[in-house]
Chain A
Amino acid sequence: GQNIDQPTEMTATEGAIVQINCTYQTSGFNGLFWYQQHAGEAPTFLSYNVLDGLEEKGRFSSFLSRSKGYSYLLLKELQMKDSASYLCAVKDQAGTALIFGKGTTLSVSS
């Protein structure tokens, strides 16, 4: 079956670094996405990995290991505005639809 796991909640302090892990088991693989979703708002795209390795984009980086079915999102120099849910999603090879994990709610405190 299709399964994407990520922690339910995480907490961190301003200025710190946090790593949000995601493991997946899907019938196919055509890329892994990370989205950010603030409360009451729509998800917004953060990153995309289809090959193994690290993709860096400013304070955010995303890593993928296809052989391990594993990804992480790394957030550096945390700010209060980073408090949000972070959604891991896999693009199934069978089509264009994304399979989403349940999301990780990150709370950043001062």
Chain B
Amino acid sequence: DVKVTQSSRYLVKRTGEKVFLECVQDMDHENMFWYRQDPGLGLRLIYFSYDVKMKEKGDIPEGYSVSREKKERFSLILESASTNQTSMYLCASLRGGRSGEQFFGPGTRLTVL
């Protein structure tokens, strides 16, 4: 089974802290994604990566950065956390082929106080 894991299910941080969210997939997928999900707004793409050391901005990259040093790991970084970054963060990994189905991790619920 494809497995996408995220480092934490729940995280509480203070305004101004630097926050790292880690995502690891075990299926050798080239493409990885970070989304945030908020009530009434749905899933919004923050950043994605189609290869090691490559990254592309999504719809809402402001306040975030990413790192992809190894194929299996994609990190989301909040340089200086703010309360409006309180959200559910979902990582996904893409399988190639016909369906192009994205596999999601369990999510990290981040609260910034």
List A residues at the B interface (Cβ < 8 Å): 30-31, 33, 41-45, 48, 50, 87, 89, 91, 95-103
Give the dominant DSSP class at B's interface: strand
B101, A42: Cβ atoms closer than 8 Å: no
**Total residues of chain B contacting the partner, CB 8 A:** 25
List B residues at the A interface (Cβ < 8 Å): 31, 33, 35, 40-45, 48, 50, 56, 58, 90, 94, 98-107
Write out the residue numbers on chain B whose beta carbons fall within 8 Å of the beta carbon of A89. Answer: 43
Give the dominant DSSP class at A's interface: loop
Write out the residue numbers on chain B whose beta carbons fall within 8 Å of the beta carbon of A44. Answer: 104
A43, B42: Cβ atoms closer than 8 Å: no
* Contact (A97, B58) CB under 8 Å given A42-B105, A44-B104, A45-B101: yes
